Amino acid sequence: MSMRVKICGITRREDALAALNLGADALGFNFYDRSPRYIDLQKARELIDHLPPFGLRVGVFVDPTFEGVMEITKALRLDTIQLHGQEPPEFAGDLRNEGLRVWKAIRVSGAQSLKDCGDYPCDALVLDAFDPRQRGGTGKPFDWSILEDWTPPAPWILSGGLNPETVADAIIRLSPSGVDVASGVETRPGIKDADLMRLFIQRARQELVPA
């Protein structure tokens, strides 16, 4: 099966369409208002309403309220919720009871970060780099050697510092279920570059992607 690819931090319709046309499996929309890739509900609705009906629609949240997540989810017909904060397991369980797919982001600072996520109720883990000032999208990788003796408790997605130059080596070395990129395919936060997205997807899958 080919490698799954998520393009995160989508803020423009043309970027979303380009990513899907290039073969991205999932698009991420960031609803954390302190992120440089933040998109509000109205803009996200205008963007998503014009997308073709394929590809996962992933809402990225940081310590939201349950009601807030459900309002956005229903308005945009999201199918996947990525939790990037300190949400307790019960919060994720409630979302899954609503029929939603839940991905839990783990900001990896050491081996203990991975031990703490073993029992979390989710459909996949997203491993990202730890940064005390920013929740994802830092453009920095974490120490991959931490994963050498790790047995994943769930499917997992590699994030943090990936770009077209590093993604193939990361996949060969770590064998994740998927890869997640934001800053590595941008000209500036929230503005994607179609050529970089093409290269990233091509190298993630080791196959040619149509122009």
| CA dihedral sign of residues 189, 195, 198, 201 | negative
> What are the backbone dihedrals phi and psi of residue 36, each rounded to the nearest 5 degrees, phi first?
-70, -10
Contact predicate 159/136, CB 8 Å: yes
C-beta of residue 24 within 8 angstroms of C-beta of residue 7: yes
C-alpha–C-alpha distance, residues 121 and 106, integer Å: 13
What's the rounded Cα separation, in Å, for the pair 6 and 29? Answer: 11
- Beta-carbon neighbour count of residue 151 at 10 Å? 6
The catalytic residue among 8, 15, 25, 180 is 8
DSSP code at position 38: B
| Annotated active-site residue in 15, 117, 122, 128 | 128
Is residue 128 annotated as part of the catalytic site, yes or no? yes
Cβ contact 121:89 at 8 Å: yes
Name the residues annotated as catalytic. Answer: 8, 128
